[in-house]
A and B are shown apart, each in its own frame.
Chain A
Amino acid sequence: MLVDLAGGWSPMLGRLAWSQIPYDNPILAPLFVAVVIGAILVLGLITYYGKWTYLWKEWLTTVDHKKLGVMYILIGLVMLFRGFIDGLMIRTQQAWGVGSHSSGVFGALHGYLTPFHFGQVYSAHGVIMILLAATPLLVGFMNIIVPIQIGARDMAYPYLNALGLWITAAAGALIMISLFVGDFAHNGWFGYAPIFELQYSPGVGVDYWIWTMELVALGTTLGGINILATIIKMRAPGMTWGRLPIFVWATLSANVIALTSFPALQVALALVAADRYLGAHFFTAGLGGNLMLYTNLFWIWGHPEVYFVILPAFGMMSEIFPTFSEKPLFGYITMVLASMAIAGVSWLVWLHHFFTMGAGPYVNSAFSVATMLVGIPTGVKVFNWAFTMYRGRLTFNAAMLWAIGALFLLLIGGLTGMMLAVPAINYMVHNSVFVVAHFHSMLLTIVYAIFASVIYWFPKVFGFKLDEFWAKTMFWLFSAGTALVFVPMYMLGFMGMTRRLDYVFNTVWHPYLLVMEFGIAVYMLSVLAFFALLYVSIRDHAKNQVGADAWGTSRSLEWLTHSPVPFYNFAVLPHISARDEVAWRRDNGIDHVQPDHYEDIHMPNNTGVAIILGGLTFVLGFALVWRIWWLCALTLLAIIALVIYRSFKGDPGYIITAAELEKMEKEAMRREAQVGKQRRQAGSGVLGEAIAYERSDLPPLVSRPSSPVGLDHRS
């Protein structure tokens, strides 16, 4: 052992011991029981209905980008819920433990969480929300949509895609198991030196934090390579760069960020691991270490990361606004340039996360100017969306409401971001909840865009629409919750409330914190509305079935495929003639033209190697956390052996013959014709009348001048 470990170590079990299971924790013990019961229930139900073969064949071994994307989104939603519970716990502690007279239970002096546990809750909240909720949700959408938007059959590397999913799942499993075996880190989601050093965090929490994030970084890097190679090498014939759907451009710029920046995170965390495992002195307070170096390396990743999550959200908004304004996106070229500019400039601003750390006025000014510059392309996007909607035929369905909500939150978050870009202001509000409110506004922009996309693309993936009423109800409840939680938070930030307070010493802030707690209750109602949405939609799915062009006014290529998308995406690859190909075909009356003959197509096989490798990475992460060296070596060898095995086995794939294709296509077209006949939908709902989605009686909008300011946006 190169380092001194508190709590002992044995060769067989490393640091693992019975005492590491928190059986006496009043919150975790009942939770563990509930989880075990829930798990037994789920596993029991699957066994009872005999679905294991189905699960294994169709989902766990799949390399189909759509199924993988759905699983990414499922992981993201589950983790979003877990992260929300963490947020609820934070709010409750801060609403309860206010002032010296506040009561304390469960061993806490004030509130119900001890400082050490509160630290774990907000650290887990941050890590989960950013890396295990937002990122998988976005990656899931990119996975599903990008290949069908560019006319490809799958991603460039289907097996690698599956691997990325299961590695991300392994990371999720690792952070979940930290609830019940050991602790989690209490150094905040991004960590500080020297609190994460062994001396100040002698437990395993920081190790869980390190390896969870390393696994997510690995999964996301692999995914990034995949998406970039797909976009660059696998576009359908005729899909020139100028005809690429805007969401694909957004994905391209986002994944360029991912590819370039995640290695910095891997290094930053690996050096922390070197300090903790090998006794190195990268970030120690003595012997030549440099504390600020960690912060620097982390944020070299950290800042591009936030642009990695927001650019796909912008792309989603750029798809939704034109569809429900029945107009092409205003300023396509400037949107593309803006995305690229954001990706580029985002690399130059990372110091704004630690203006106060002492780099001096010259460095601070340079990074401040760069930060302000990055607001310009974002502003361009906001104006372009506004001009897209201007004089459009607007449909205020649930997806559009979420998108508009996202736009509104972007304004608030973006403007407060510009305020924070100024070091003079930053020095005043650094580490206060003003910053917290700012970045939550931005992250909520992403969440809103995600929910909008769920509603928008759900019919494409599953063949039926989600229930409008409950989707809108959820939107309004969620928005009310957002307002109630974050408006007071901005105020508290200006009043000087620091972030991460487990004990709030100033009772003047109490009313605000109570309002925020009420906001959390409203959020809880929106979560219930979400469950109602799922239940009602699935119950009524037969009534809400859709054809290829689910919304009637869709514009981009994915709406050419059947709904739900067949596993081969396109029977015959389309030849692209325009940007917004489906809108072009529909406006020229050629959207129902089908291919006249079919050819054999080559598809990749499913493989169990990906999920087994994912499982092995989970075990490796666990073994590293608990320093069970023999298990580390064993799993590492197993991983290498399996990778080599897979390399030898390869995958010849299989052929779908032209005859089989023709049969499947005819069946899909027959189903679509039936859906078209039976469906006649008039929307209704809370505070917004959805227009019927098949209004063929109105002339296409394109004949009207579409530019409000006389600029010809044909360029």
Chain B
Amino acid sequence: MSHGHDDPTLHPEVQMSTSRGYFSGFAISSILMLIATFLVTSRAVPPFGLLMVIAVCAGIAVIAQIYFLLHIDISEHNIWNTVALVLFMPLFLITIGLTWWMFSQLYLHTMIMPGMTH
């Protein structure tokens, strides 16, 4: 792929931006955040279920943003970005998830506190 002397604005990474894509990403994430805020402030749903719901809102919003804004897909031009992201995702989950497991086990074994809530 030789783009050394071409017009840089013709580069595929510039050309793949679409206003439709950006509007879609914006709309989806804004609406989901609105829903999440509304649910939390109106206290209509019990806590654990609420946590699940807003986590799902966050998850969908982020997926939409990753697809529409970061252009993560399996097209030839973006494939390495996608590979890198797919490689990192489990590590994010491991860092947060295993830490969380470790410490909840720790607290279970070492902290005997009445009324300990989370």
* Cross-chain contact A359 with B106 (CB below 8 angstroms): yes
A293→B109 CA distance, assembly (Å): 16
> A358 at interface (Cβ–Cβ under 8 A)?
yes
* Cross-chain contact B87 with A351 (CB below 8 angstroms): no
Report A293 CB to chain B, min CB distance, Å: 8
Indicate the member of B94, B95, B99 with the most A CB atoms within 10 Å. Answer: B95
* Cross-chain contact B95 with A360 (CB below 8 angstroms): no
Tell me which residues from 246 to 288 in chain A have a Cβ below 8 Å from any Cβ of chain B.
Answer: 256, 260, 264
> A412 at interface (Cβ–Cβ under 8 A)?
no
* Cross-chain contact B88 with A260 (CB below 8 angstroms): yes
> B27 at interface (Cβ–Cβ under 8 A)?
no
Residues on B lying within 8 angstroms of A by beta carbon are 80, 87-88, 91, 94-95, 98-99, 101-103, 105-106, 108-110
Question: Closest A-chain residue to B94, C-beta based?
Answer: A347
What does DSSP make chain A's interface, helix, strand, loop or mixed?
helix
A264→B80 CA distance, assembly (Å): 23
Q: Which chain B positions have C-beta within 8 A of A300?
A: 95, 99
Our pick among A264, A296, A359 for the contact of B105 (Cβ within 8 Å) is A359
Q: Which chain B positions have C-beta within 8 A of A648?
A: none
List the 4 closest A-B pairs by CB distance, nearest first: A360-B105, A360-B109, A359-B102, A363-B105
Given known A-B contacts A260-B88, A360-B109, A232 and B102 have beta carbons under 8 A apart = no
Tell me which residues from 290 to 337 in chain A have a Cβ below 8 Å from any Cβ of chain B.
Answer: 290, 292-293, 296-297, 300
* Cross-chain contact B102 with A351 (CB below 8 angstroms): yes
A362→B101 CA distance, assembly (Å): 10
* Cross-chain contact A358 with B110 (CB below 8 angstroms): yes
A538→B1 CA distance, assembly (Å): 44
* Cross-chain contact B91 with A358 (CB below 8 angstroms): no
* Cross-chain contact B94 with A232 (CB below 8 angstroms): no
Q: Which chain A positions have C-beta within 8 A of B105?
A: 359-360, 362-363
> A527 at interface (Cβ–Cβ under 8 A)?
no
Q: Which chain B positions have C-beta within 8 A of A609?
A: none
Report B4 CB to chain A, min CB distance, Å: 8
Q: Which chain B positions have C-beta within 8 A of A256?
A: 87
> A348 at interface (Cβ–Cβ under 8 A)?
yes
Q: 14 A-B contacts, Cβ less than 8 Å apart?
A: A232-B80, A260-B91, A290-B103, A293-B103, A296-B102, A347-B94, A357-B106, A359-B106, A360-B105, A360-B108, A360-B109, A363-B102, A363-B105, A363-B106
Report A709 CB to chain B, min CB distance, Å: 34
Indicate the member of B87, B91, B108 with the most A CB atoms within 10 Å. Answer: B91
Question: Closest B-chain residue to A261, C-beta based?
Answer: B91
Q: Which chain A positions have C-beta within 8 A of B110?
A: 358
Tell me which residues from 356 to 396 in chain A have a Cβ below 8 Å from any Cβ of chain B.
Answer: 357-360, 362-363
Our pick among A260, A264, A297, A358 for the contact of B109 (Cβ within 8 Å) is A358
Interface footprint category on A = 10 to 19
Q: Which chain B positions have C-beta within 8 A of A359?
A: 102-103, 105-106, 109
Question: Closest B-chain residue to A602, C-beta based?
Answer: B4
Q: Which chain A positions have C-beta within 8 A of B102?
A: 296, 351, 359, 363
Instruction: Taking A347-B91, A357-B106, A360-B108 as given, write out 15 further A-B residue pairs in contact, using a Cβ cutoff of 8 Å, ordered by the A residue number.
Output: A256-B87, A260-B88, A296-B103, A297-B99, A300-B95, A348-B94, A348-B98, A358-B106, A359-B102, A359-B105, A359-B106, A360-B106, A363-B101, A363-B105, A363-B106
Q: Which chain B positions have C-beta within 8 A of A232?
A: 80
Report B75 CB to chain A, min CB distance, Å: 16
What does DSSP make chain B's interface, helix, strand, loop or mixed?
helix
Q: Which chain A positions have C-beta within 8 A of B95?
A: 264, 300
Given known A-B contacts A260-B88, A360-B106, A363-B105, A296 and B80 have beta carbons under 8 A apart = no
A296→B80 CA distance, assembly (Å): 31
Report A224 CB to chain B, min CB distance, Å: 12
Report B95 CB to chain A, min CB distance, Å: 6
Report B114 CB to chain A, min CB distance, Å: 18
Question: Closest B-chain residue to A297, C-beta based?
Answer: B99
Q: Which chain A positions have C-beta within 8 A of B108?
A: 360
Question: Closest B-chain residue to A232, C-beta based?
Answer: B80
A357→B103 CA distance, assembly (Å): 11
A232→B91 CA distance, assembly (Å): 21
A292→B99 CA distance, assembly (Å): 11
Report A301 CB to chain B, min CB distance, Å: 10
Q: Which chain B positions have C-beta within 8 A of A292?
A: 103, 106
A363→B110 CA distance, assembly (Å): 14
A182→B80 CA distance, assembly (Å): 47
A26→B27 CA distance, assembly (Å): 70
Report A604 CB to chain B, min CB distance, Å: 14
Q: Which chain B positions have C-beta within 8 A of A293?
A: 103
Report B90 CB to chain A, min CB distance, Å: 8
* Cross-chain contact B99 with A296 (CB below 8 angstroms): yes
A290→B80 CA distance, assembly (Å): 39
A357→B98 CA distance, assembly (Å): 15
Report A351 CB to chain B, min CB distance, Å: 7
Residue-wise, chain A 379-420 has the 8 Å CB interface mask toward B (1 for contact) of 000000000000000000000000000000000000000000
Question: Closest A-chain residue to B80, C-beta based?
Answer: A232
Report A231 CB to chain B, min CB distance, Å: 11
Report A617 CB to chain B, min CB distance, Å: 27
Indicate the member of B88, B98, B102, B110 with the most A CB atoms within 10 Å. Answer: B102
A232→B83 CA distance, assembly (Å): 12
A296→B105 CA distance, assembly (Å): 14
A491→B52 CA distance, assembly (Å): 54
Question: Closest A-chain residue to B91, C-beta based?
Answer: A260
Report A153 CB to chain B, min CB distance, Å: 14
Q: Which chain B positions have C-beta within 8 A of A360?
A: 105-106, 108-109
A47→B87 CA distance, assembly (Å): 51
A232→B99 CA distance, assembly (Å): 32
A300→B105 CA distance, assembly (Å): 18
Report B19 CB to chain A, min CB distance, Å: 28
Question: Closest A-chain residue to B88, C-beta based?
Answer: A260
Report B78 CB to chain A, min CB distance, Å: 13
Q: Which chain A positions have C-beta within 8 A of B98?
A: 348, 351
A348→B91 CA distance, assembly (Å): 9
Question: Closest B-chain residue to A362, C-beta based?
Answer: B105
A360→B106 CA distance, assembly (Å): 6
Question: Closest B-chain residue to A357, C-beta based?
Answer: B106
A256→B87 CA distance, assembly (Å): 9
Question: Closest B-chain residue to A293, C-beta based?
Answer: B103
Q: Which chain B positions have C-beta within 8 A of A290?
A: 103
Question: Closest B-chain residue to A300, C-beta based?
Answer: B95
Question: Closest A-chain residue to B99, C-beta based?
Answer: A296
Question: Closest A-chain residue to B87, C-beta based?
Answer: A256
Report B103 CB to chain A, min CB distance, Å: 8
A348→B101 CA distance, assembly (Å): 13
A290→B103 CA distance, assembly (Å): 10
A661→B106 CA distance, assembly (Å): 66
A256→B101 CA distance, assembly (Å): 25
A256→B91 CA distance, assembly (Å): 11
Q: Which chain A positions have C-beta within 8 A of B91?
A: 260, 347
A347→B101 CA distance, assembly (Å): 15
Report A226 CB to chain B, min CB distance, Å: 15
